[in-house]
Structure 1
Amino acid sequence: MADDIVQDTFLRIIATPSLPEQDFAKSYLYRTANNLVIDHFRRERILSFVPDPEKAFEMLADDTPSPEQIAWSRQELKRLQKILQKLPKHHREVFILARIEGLTYVQIGEQLGIPSQTAFSRMVRALGLIKEAMDQAEKK
């Protein structure tokens, strides 16, 4: 085990793109080794709860969505697309820029020529309208 940790320590240090200054190199080496020892004992503690550690990963649940989950997600996406099409244009634009494009409200404001507070308030209103429409669709 000690040999493995020493080897892993040097592999980590070699793979580090920017090493610390020479004054801190020794402490960096010790800290890296210490962290690897801590990680090792954490793994050991977790694996002690598993009857056969070699098969531990086989016991993990498969997170691949089922055909039912895929079908449901597609239906929800279609429903959301219809709701987005019915939103007022200025609310829809902000929603798409924020949630799909990943822009900040400042960036949205700059792109649309509006204050960032207006972009934020339009987003709040868009989310409210979407929630109302989704709730109404569920009641049907």
Structure 2
Amino acid sequence: MPIETSSIDMLYRDHHGWLQGWLRKRLGDHERGADVAQDTFLRLLITRRLPAIDEGRTYLAQIARNLVIDQWRRQRIERAYLDSLAHLPEPQTPSLETRAMVIETLLQIDSMLDAMPARVREAFLLSRFEGLDYAQIAERLQVSVSSVQKYMLRAISACYQVLYAE
């Protein structure tokens, strides 16, 4: 449903306090709960979609859950990257700007891989990270080589979208 200012105002008045409390219980942190609640309503404004009248809380809770999952994913990726940097000698440690750019790129890659169907993602990873050729991938996945070609086309198309469509 298209967004109207009065509708978002009413949704905010009716559910913001509840959402903040719900998030505070689940996250165990008042400030973080308040931040995610605000981000939830910001997401509503950005997407310009409102729930049906009787689905407000369910809709808001789903948006908030997704935002929390995104935050956890980001933290996991950042932690893994920073852990890998800790093993580098001091002169090879990248600048803060480079670190931020790498983390943003890793998040894009993670999102792209997560959006791929399982077989497409698996074929792509076997090709790019294990260096298998299409016949070896077909054997490993127990599919035909033409299926692997289709999987790779979809995967490469997804990569192209991330690199050039944004």
Coarse TM-score class (shorter-chain normalised): 0.3 to 0.5
Question: Who wins on radius of gyration, i.e. which is larger?
Answer: 1
